[in-house]
Amino acid sequence: MSATQDLTLVGAVQDGLRTEMERDDRVLVMGEDVGQAGGVFRATEGLYEEFGENRVINTPLAESGIVGAAIGMAAYGLRPVPEIQFSGFMYPAFDQLVSHAARLRTRSREQYTCPMVVRSPYGGGIKAPEHHSESKEAFYAHEPGLKVVVPSTPHDTKGLLIAAIRDPDPVVFLEPKRIYRATRQQVPEEPFTIEIGDASIRREGSDVSVFTWGAMTRPALDAADELASEDIDVEVVDLRTLSPMDTDAIVASFEKTGRGVVVHEGPKTGGLAGEVTARIQEGSLLYQEAPIARVTGFDVPVPLAQLEDFYMPEDTRIMDAIREVHAF
Q: Do 50 and 173 fall into the same domain?
A: yes
The pLDDT value recorded for residue 126 is: 87
277-317 residue pLDDT tens: 999 999 999 999 999 999 999 999 998 877 888 899 999 99
Q: What would the mean pLDDT of 192-202 be, rounded to a whole number?
A: 98
Q: Could you tell me the pLDDT band of residue 1, with boundaries at 50, 70 and 90?
A: low
Q: Do 157 and 291 fall into the same domain?
A: no
Residue 226 falls inside a structural domain: yes
Look up the domain containing 102 and give its range.
4-188
CATH of the domain at 98: 3.40.50.970
- HSE at residue 130, side-chain half, CA atoms within 13 A, is 2
Sign of the C-alpha dihedral computed for residues 254, 194, 82 and 167 taken in this order: negative
Q: Do 150 and 288 fall into the same domain?
A: no
The pLDDT value recorded for residue 306 is: 78
Pairwise CA distance, residues 184 & 165, whole Å: 23
122-160 residue pLDDT tens: 999 888 887 889 999 999 999 999 999 999 999 999 999
Task: Select which of 100, 132, 264, 326 is catalytic.
Answer: 132
CATH of the domain at 205: 3.40.50.920
Q: What is the mean pLDDT of the chain?
A: 96
Count of structural domains, the chain: 2
Judged against a pLDDT cut of 90, whether residue 186 lies above it is answered with yes
Q: Do 178 and 261 fall into the same domain?
A: no
Residue 194 falls inside a structural domain: no
258-284 residue pLDDT tens: 999 999 999 999 999 999 999 999 999
Q: Do 221 and 264 fall into the same domain?
A: yes
Catalytic residue status for 142: no
The pLDDT value recorded for residue 168 is: 97
Q: Are strands 147-149 and 241-243 parallel, antiparallel or unpaired?
A: antiparallel
**C-alpha closest to that of 123 among 199, 41, 58:** 41
Q: Do 177 and 237 fall into the same domain?
A: no
Q: Do 221 and 181 fall into the same domain?
A: no
CA distances from 195 to 160, 238, 280 (A): 7, 14, 22
